[in-house]
Amino acid sequence: MGTDPESPWDGEPAAAWEPYDPSRDGAWDLARVAHLHRRAGFGAGASRLARDVSDGHEASIRRIVEGDPVGPDGRTRAEFDDLAGSMTDSARRDPAIGRVRLAWLFRLLNGPHPLQERMTLAWHGHYATGARKVADPLAMLDQVEAMRGLWNAPVSKLHRAMLDSAAMQLWLDGPSSDRDRPNENLGREFLELFALGEGAYGEGDVKAAARALTGYRVGGGADLRARSVVFDPKRHDGGEKLLLGETGPWGPADLVRIASKQPPAARAVARRLFLTFIDDITPPPAPLVDALADLIRTPGDVDVARGIRVVLGSRCFHSGGVRGRKVKSPVDFVVGLIRTTGWFRPTPDPITIDVSLTRMGQTLLDPPSVAGWSGGYSWLGAPLLIARANFMAEITSTAGAEAKLRTLHGKSRGGSPSSWGASVAGAFAPCVQGPGLRGAKAPASYAEALRLVASYPEAHLA
């Protein structure tokens, strides 16, 4: 990124986060619109891209941030909300982790507000909890719903909701921590992974955070299918604690308050936004992270919503040098392919998608550790790439796949497999330019064209 001729902020990091100006930073064109949709959502079809080129960058970014009135499958926002809510209610009535994952997949594939789902997925990797240890589908569902509702909230609200969530407490053994035996597990992970980052606290702060977080226990509740977690003041250590330079009888709310106003708190959020929207291949440059942190730090908190707006509207985000600097996760690859091609009503079988995501290395609601997924090039190991190719072969060879693609994009629109494939490639993969579709010979079918696009190395980048 530092050697890119479109990066005018070398040695001037604050300039990276200045608003993008087409007259200065390059025209608002199809490549920039496709980049916006790949990064801020999961890609978009040709009609949406053309609309946003025509509407200009300010209207397009505003629509991304606020959500679209109509989903990619043609449902209105109200229709989508009703259907998605029904799927969530069904998962609550008959809780199983597979049902919870399928309800989330429906939102990822069909939702009119992909940025909200993008951030929900980012927070799922940030506040990582795994279904196998939690062993409570309703707890996992509640946590994801909380992340979705707080996707752009001040970071203190996210911290508190996650600390209070049954999923996080069960994942990090919070209920085993009481005033007599404070467990440092949750306190350490909160300071290092969630709130401040490595090196921004001392061992004394870990011990104080552990004491502040004592008192949670597994409760009863009317719904015996779920293990609720409640705060019990009798189990809490109410003594004085020295935490990040402040002394008092601190509890969970105090821990969040004190941590959220530390200077490293804004840097931790800025780093997460950089990894989510800019680059997950190379370590985030400290000067760029610090400059973004300065813009989102508020008295006592961190303004996540402002951070998202700044990044998505910035010169840095819209520069050519950042394209191809993120590796598509399995969710990005699969969901992006479907949203870009417009393969809806129906989409490919959701159960096939769910199983295939696991084969590609990403089981929703079950990251490998408290640090989440490693991201970057770790997604591109040979077995994982083979799983992506196998997924493409499976969905494009099912009965009716070619007819579906032909109906969507075939002769009625005057297209051909080659021309359609070229348009998909330009929207789905960065750095693919020119009108032609690369290949030894022209694809004979729409399914073959789609497999060809997915085989490009660039198809795995964003």
pLDDT in tens, 32-57: 999 999 999 999 999 999 999 999 99
Q: Predicted confidence band at 224 (pLDDT cuts at 50, 70, 90)? A: very low
Residue 2 has pLDDT above 50, yes or no: no
Q: Nearest to residue 241, comparing CAs of 232, 254, 259, 230?
A: 254
Vertex 20 angle, CA 15 and 26, to 5°: 110
Read off the pLDDT of each residue in 362-389 and give the average, rounded to a whole number: 97
pTM recorded for the entire structure: 0.94
- Percent of the chain at pLDDT > 90 equals 87
Q: Predicted confidence band at 399 (pLDDT cuts at 50, 70, 90)? A: confident
Q: Predicted confidence band at 3 (pLDDT cuts at 50, 70, 90)? A: very low
The predicted structure's pLDDT at residue 345: 86
The predicted structure's pLDDT at residue 11: 73
What mean pLDDT is reported for the chain? 93
Q: Predicted confidence band at 74 (pLDDT cuts at 50, 70, 90)? A: very high
The predicted structure's pLDDT at residue 228: 80
Residue 161 has pLDDT above 70, yes or no: yes
Phi and psi angles of residue 302, each rounded to the nearest 5 degrees, phi first? -130, 130
**Quick check: helix, strand or coil at residue 3?**
coil
Calpha distance 450→250 (Å, rounded): 57
Q: Predicted confidence band at 221 (pLDDT cuts at 50, 70, 90)? A: low
Read off the pLDDT of each residue in 177-202 and give the average, rounded to a whole number: 95
Q: Predicted confidence band at 412 (pLDDT cuts at 50, 70, 90)? A: very low
Q: Predicted confidence band at 227 (pLDDT cuts at 50, 70, 90)? A: low
Q: Nearest to residue 380, comparing CAs of 392, 393, 389?
A: 389
Calpha distance 241→332 (Å, rounded): 44
Q: Which residues pair with 364 in a beta bridge?
A: none
Contacts of 72 (CB under 8 A, 6+ apart): 44, 45, 48, 110, 112, 339, 342, 344
Residue 159 has pLDDT above 80, yes or no: yes
The predicted structure's pLDDT at residue 438: 82
The predicted structure's pLDDT at residue 360: 98
Read off the pLDDT of each residue in 368-386 and give the average, rounded to a whole number: 96
